[in-house]
């Protein structure tokens, strides 16, 4: 199949939640997709659904927690797939525990995935964006990147750091035509709430949906090259954090 010239996106965490919803929203908008996640079976299902819409979509299983391999792996994916116009860093994990009871190994694990892997993905993509003097990076942060919640201390630290990373990259790369957007949703009804590292009792039916967040991400990437939304705070109208 011959694909028309169009934008190409690399999305991490694309097998579920916000990453999956963003991939499907992008596909409907005609954006080709390089999809990255640890789970290969679910990832290939998302790629297949995107191809049914009519775009090029490839699945690239990758464990982003293996920090020393992320930059080179992302660079290799981009070289194989073709120039990446849009990088969406959606992979991440939730974590709840009082800070004083948080083991050092957990601290490092959360920071590695939620912050350091994002930095490594950016480093893997930036050189080609600089060469073309164009590109947009979307970092999926959280309301926890600007507010601190009891027992979410480590998660908040990782998201505060992600906000600083987003602003630093934006400042350094703006002159080269590269745009950076941090999207900061409140609680989103994703599989994160079912993981062993999160213990919380919220009304998930009142949360934002991944599809709502994905539409905001799509809006940000569809702006003209001369404009950027640097930060989006998106909350449920039901008042759920």
Q: 48 in helix, strand or coil?
A: helix
201 — pLDDT class (breaks 50, 70, 90): confident
E strand or H helix that includes residue 181: strand 178-185
Contact residues for 174 (Cβ-Cβ < 8 A; gap 6+): none
Q: Which of 197, 217, 203, 121 is nearest to 155 (CA)?
A: 197
The predicted model gives 165-177 an average pLDDT of: 98
Give the residue numbers marked as catalytic.
Answer: 155
pLDDT for res 17 = 97
120 — pLDDT class (breaks 50, 70, 90): very high
Fold of domain 8-234: Rossmann fold (3.40.50)
The runs of H, that is alpha helices, within 63-209 are: 67-81, 104-111, 117-132, 153-173
CB-based contact 92:15 (threshold 8 Å): no
1 — pLDDT class (breaks 50, 70, 90): very low
Helix axes 153-173, 104-111, angle to 10 degrees: 30
Q: In angstroms, how far is CA 149 from the centroid of its own chain?
A: 22
Q: Which of 160, 92, 155 is nearest to 121 (CA)?
A: 92
- Whether the predicted pLDDT of 116 surpasses 60: yes
Contact residues for 93 (Cβ-Cβ < 8 A; gap 6+): 109, 110, 113, 114, 192, 195, 197
The predicted model gives 26-48 an average pLDDT of: 96
The predicted model gives 2-24 an average pLDDT of: 88
Structure tokens at 31: 């954006």
The predicted model gives 106-115 an average pLDDT of: 98
241 — pLDDT class (breaks 50, 70, 90): low
Distance (Å, rounded) from C-alpha 115 to C-alpha 91?
10
Share of the chain above pLDDT 70, in %: 96
- Whether the predicted pLDDT of 4 surpasses 50: no
């Amino acid at each position: 199949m011959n694909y028309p010239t169009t934008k190409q996106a690399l999305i991490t965490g694309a097998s579920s939640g916000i990453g999956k919803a963003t991939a499907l929203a992008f596909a409907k908008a005609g954006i080709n997709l390089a999809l990255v996640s640890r789970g290969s079976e679910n990832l290939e299902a998302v790629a297949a659904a995107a191809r049914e819409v009519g775009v090029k979509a490839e699945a690239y299983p990758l464990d982003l927690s293996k920090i020393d391999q992320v930059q080179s792996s992302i660079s290799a994916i981009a070289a194989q797939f073709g120039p990446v116009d849009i990088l969406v860093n959606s992979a991440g994990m939730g974590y709840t525990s009082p800070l004083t009871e948080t083991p050092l190994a957990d601290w490092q694990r959360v920071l590695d995935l939620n912050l350091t892997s994002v930095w490594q993905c950016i480093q893997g993509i930036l050189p080609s964006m600089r060469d073309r003097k164009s590109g947009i990076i979307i970092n999926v942060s959280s309301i926890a990147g600007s507010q601190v919640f009891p027992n979410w201390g480590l998660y908040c630290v990782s998201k505060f750091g992600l906000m600083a990373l987003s602003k630093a990259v934006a400042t350094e790369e703006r002159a080269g035509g590269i745009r950076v957007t941090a999207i900061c949703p409140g609680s989103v009804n994703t599989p994160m709430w079912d993981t062993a590292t999160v213990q919380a009792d919220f009304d998930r039916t009142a949360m934002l949906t991944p599809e709502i967040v994905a539409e905001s991400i799509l809006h940000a990437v569809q702006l003209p090259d001369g404009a950027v939304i640097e930060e989006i705070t998106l909350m449920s109208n039901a008042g759920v954090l």
